[in-house]
């Protein structure tokens, strides 16, 4: 039951439109920095583009996809009209307004601070206010998801919450709490300086606040992907979810352990004690748990589909899977990229191993492979799956869709594998220019060239994606039926209260944030003499 289709379509279209722009900027950046491009002689233009790319890809695009998908889940999984539609539109327009407000100073070269802010760099006030508006808009969505679930619970006392909605609300709570770190950094540290009320900033404390957001935000980006793994893929390929409870455990584990781990981004920072770094490192290791559970459950679910299609043998069933189905293809690509990206992530989170790749292109390769690869390819799949239900028109050029997914997969591998490699060789990240004529880095020129070619393959795939969706708006009308989610092999009539509600896990999430972040934040905030003069972008 999808009633507010316009609302959901608006979220998706704005998300994908800005994604297209940011993707183009990304490809341009790779080109201009590679040996095949001619250096502009102006690093500022590069950082301007990089800031726009990161701000859109980090804050605007995934947030809007999660929101649009969240509204779709709320209406179709709960089978009730969305409560608070006006608020939802208000949230959407806040994000549109915030995005425009943030992008103007970036385009003018007044906020080339990168999306991670990097204090003591300070950009134009309106850039930060724009980001705040985007976050506030998304918090409206968080509240609406909670309210809609509450309304449904009242009407269905004691009934198990549909898995898709349970996971969706878990994702929204995770976002609500993880965004608090960046919000504190912006409101207490950066905005007072950007507004001219202060001239110094505690860069160390600001970095700790940002690490609060920076890691769990990735799991918020990941949520729609995992929801698609569990509740769309098995249905789309004709199988069933292996275990509903296992899925719930995976999502609550994300809620609990995604949060208190962000300091593995600050391993090289002197302002954080080594003990806390170790604790965060250990908890980061725990995040592999829900991912391993998911990989196991989804592989089992896919095997069920294969056996239902007559697959036999230990591995023979893999052959009979519906490989021409875009959803199957997207899942397989996503898992391959998740595997490589996740393995790289294990190196990043290890205190000692990190030292060899910290701040190198390895990191850039890692998060593009995980986010741009494993996560975003499932965003495409979600859009393809939902589109006929949103537009009331068919989306039947499967060959084009498969081509798009293949291109994205190949492009992402060609882009990120050489990035990892040059990172191991020591190439630093966040550099606008490399002089490949220097004999010391000349051997890396070939890898970087490949990487830039990968960027253009990704751009081609992104354009194809937008073309497919746009053509889907004009295709012949067709009734897609009601939007359904996958059901479990054993759909239990009751679910333990702990796996049907979020309160316990939200409480643990907050408790672990306090134990793992409380002391470092408190000492940094109360220690005198830790602030440094702000460095204003564009000021002499």
Partner 1 sequence: MSARDLFTFRNPHFTRGVGITAAILIVTAIVGFIVLPFAQPWVQFANVWDAICSAAGVPQRLAGVAAPEQAKRLSEVVLTSHTLSRPSQEAIGRGATLAQRCAICHGPTGLSRADSPNLAGQYAAVIYKELHDFRSGARTNAVMSPFAVNLTDQEIADLSDYYAFLPRLPAYHPTPQLPKPSIVIYGAPMRGIAPCGSCHGSLDNKTGSPWLEGQSEAYLKAQLQAFASGERRNDISQQMRNIARAMTPQEIEQAAAYYASQPPDIVKAVD
Q: Could you give the residue numbers annotated as active site?
A: 215, 219, 366-368, 429-430
Which helix (H) or strand (E) segment is 439 a member of?
none
* 93 interacts with partner 1 by CB under 8 A: no
Of 93-101, 299-307, 406-414, 506-514, which segment contacts partner 1 by CB under 8 A?
506-514
* 197 interacts with partner 1 by CB under 8 A: no
* 539 interacts with partner 1 by CB under 8 A: yes
Minimum separation from the CB atom of position 273 to partner 1 (A): 3
* 501 interacts with partner 1 by CB under 8 A: yes
Minimum separation from the CB atom of position 143 to partner 1 (A): 19
- Rounded to an integer, what distance in angstroms lies between the CA atom of residue 80 and that of residue 144? 13
Distances (CA, A) of 285 to 137, 173, 351, 527: 32, 22, 11, 31
Minimum separation from the CB atom of position 66 to partner 1 (A): 25
- Rounded to an integer, what distance in angstroms lies between the CA atom of residue 449 and that of residue 32? 11
Residues 227-266 that bind partner 1 (CB under 8 A): 256
* 435 interacts with partner 1 by CB under 8 A: yes
- Compare residues 260 and 341 and give the one whose CB is closer to partner 1: 260
Minimum separation from the CB atom of position 455 to partner 1 (A): 22
Which helix (H) or strand (E) segment is 81 a member of?
none
* 512 interacts with partner 1 by CB under 8 A: yes
> Which residue in the set 195, 473, 478, 497 belongs to the binding site for partner 1 (CB under 8 A)?
497
- Compare residues 287 and 376 and give the one whose CB is closer to partner 1: 287
> What does 234-251 look like in DSSP terms, one character per residue?
HHHTT--BS-HHHHHHHH
* 125 interacts with partner 1 by CB under 8 A: no
DSSP structural state of residue 42: -
- Compare residues 152 and 380 and give the one whose CB is closer to partner 1: 152
Residues 26-65 that bind partner 1 (CB under 8 A): 39, 41-44
* 314 interacts with partner 1 by CB under 8 A: no
* 158 interacts with partner 1 by CB under 8 A: yes
Residues 271-300 that bind partner 1 (CB under 8 A): 271-279, 282-283, 286
Exposure class string for 348-376: b at 16+ Cβ within 10 A, else e: bbbeeebeebbebbbbbbbbbbbbbbbbb
DSSP strand pairing (200-201 vs 532-533): antiparallel
- Compare residues 156 and 484 and give the one whose CB is closer to partner 1: 156
- Rounded to an integer, what distance in angstroms lies between the CA atom of residue 68 and that of residue 86? 14
* 442 interacts with partner 1 by CB under 8 A: no
End-to-end CA distance of the chain: 57
> Which residue in the set 229, 335, 434, 485 belongs to the binding site for partner 1 (CB under 8 A)?
434
* 212 interacts with partner 1 by CB under 8 A: no
> Which residue in the set 316, 443, 518, 533 belongs to the binding site for partner 1 (CB under 8 A)?
533
- The phi-psi region of residue 17 (left if phi > 0; otherwise alpha if psi is between -120 and 50; otherwise beta) is alpha
The β-bridge partners of 241 are 488
Supply 169's token pair. 């609300």
> Which residue in the set 38, 86, 157, 315 belongs to the binding site for partner 1 (CB under 8 A)?
157
- Is it true that the peptide bond before 120 is cis, omega within 30 degrees of 0? yes
> Do residues 349 and 285 touch, judged by C-beta distance below 8 A?
yes
Burial of 518 (0-12, 13-18, 19+ CB in 10 A): exposed
How many residues line the site for partner 1 (CB under 8 A)?
A: 52
Minimum separation from the CB atom of position 504 to partner 1 (A): 6
- Compare residues 299 and 441 and give the one whose CB is closer to partner 1: 441
* 493 interacts with partner 1 by CB under 8 A: no
In degrees rounded to 5, what are phi and psi of residue 430?
A: 60, 35
Rounded to 5°, angle at Cα 187 from 184 and 191: 135
> Do residues 392 and 478 touch, judged by C-beta distance below 8 A?
yes
* 425 interacts with partner 1 by CB under 8 A: no
Helices marked H in 116-202: 125-155, 163-184, 191-194
Minimum separation from the CB atom of position 272 to partner 1 (A): 6
Residues that bind partner 1 (CB under 8 A): 39, 41-44, 157-158, 199, 256, 271-279, 282-283, 286, 431, 433-435, 438, 440-441, 496-501, 503-505, 507-508, 511-512, 515, 519-520, 523, 527, 533-536, 539-540
């Amino acid at each position: 039951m999808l009633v507010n289709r316009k609302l959901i379509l608006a979220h998706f279209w704005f998300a994908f439109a800005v994604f297209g722009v940011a993707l183009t900027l990304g490809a341009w950046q790779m080109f201009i920095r590679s040996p095949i491009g001619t250096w502009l002689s102006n690093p500022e233009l590069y950082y301007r583009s990089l800031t726009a790319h990161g701000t859109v890809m980090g804050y605007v695009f995934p947030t809007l996809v999660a929101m649009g998908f969240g509204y779709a889940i709320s209406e179709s999984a709960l089978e009730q009209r969305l409560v608070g539609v006006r608020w939802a539109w208000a949230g959407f327009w806040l994000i549109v307004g915030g995005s425009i407000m943030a992008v103007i100073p970036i385009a003018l070269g007044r906020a080339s601070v990168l999306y991670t802010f990097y204090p003591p760099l300070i950009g134009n006030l309106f850039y930060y206010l724009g980001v705040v508006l985007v976050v506030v808009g998304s918090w409206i969505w968080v509240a609406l998801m909670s309210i809609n679930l509450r309304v449904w619970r009242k009407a269905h006392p004691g009934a198990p919450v549909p898995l898709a909605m349970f996971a969706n609300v878990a994702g929204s709570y995770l976002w609500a709490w993880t965004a608090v770190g960046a919000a504190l950094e912006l409101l207490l540290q950066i905005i007072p300086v950007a507004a001219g009320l202060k001239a110094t900033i505690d860069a160390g404390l600001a970095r700790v606040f940002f690490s609060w957001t920076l890691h769990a935000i990735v799991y918020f980006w990941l949520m729609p992907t995992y929801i698609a793994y569990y509740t769309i893929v098995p249905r789309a390929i004709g199988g069933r979810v292996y275990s509903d409870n296992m899925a719930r455990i995976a999502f609550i584990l994300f809620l609990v352990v995604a949060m208190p781990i962000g300091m593995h981004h600050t391993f090289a920072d002197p302002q954080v004690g080594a003990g806390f770094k170790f604790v965060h490192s250990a908890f980061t290791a725990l995040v592999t748990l829900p991912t391993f559970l998911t990989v196991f459950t989804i592989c089992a679910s896919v095997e069920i589909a294969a056996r239902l299609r007559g697959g036999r043998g230990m591995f023979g069933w893999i052959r009979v899977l519906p490989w021409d189905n875009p959803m199957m293809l997207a899942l397989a690509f996503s898992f391959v990229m998740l595997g490589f990206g996740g393995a790289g992530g294990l190196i990043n989170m290890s205190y000692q191993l990190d030292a060899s790749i910290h701040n190198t292109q390895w990191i850039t390769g890692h998060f593009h492979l995980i986010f741009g690869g494993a996560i975003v390819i499932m965003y495409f799949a979600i859009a393809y799956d939902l589109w006929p239900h949103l537009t009331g028109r068919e989306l039947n050029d499967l060959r084009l869709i498969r081509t798009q997914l293949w291109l994205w997969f190949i492009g992402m591998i060609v882009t990120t594998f050489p990035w990892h490699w040059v990172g191991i060789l020591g190439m630093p990240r966040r550099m606008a220019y490399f002089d490949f004529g220097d004999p010391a880095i000349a051997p890396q020129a070939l890898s970087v060239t490949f990487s830039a070619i990968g960027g253009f393959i990704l751009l081609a795939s992104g354009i194809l994606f937008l073309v497919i969706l746009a053509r889907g708006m004009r295709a012949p009308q067709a009734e897609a039926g009601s939007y359904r989610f996958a059901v479990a092999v054993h759909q239990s009539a009751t679910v333990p209260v702990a796996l049907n509600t979020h309160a316990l896990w939200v409480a643990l999430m907050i408790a672990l944030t306090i134990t793992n972040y409380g002391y470092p934040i408190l000492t940094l905030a109360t220690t005198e003499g830790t602030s440094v003069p702000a460095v204003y972008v564009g000021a002499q």
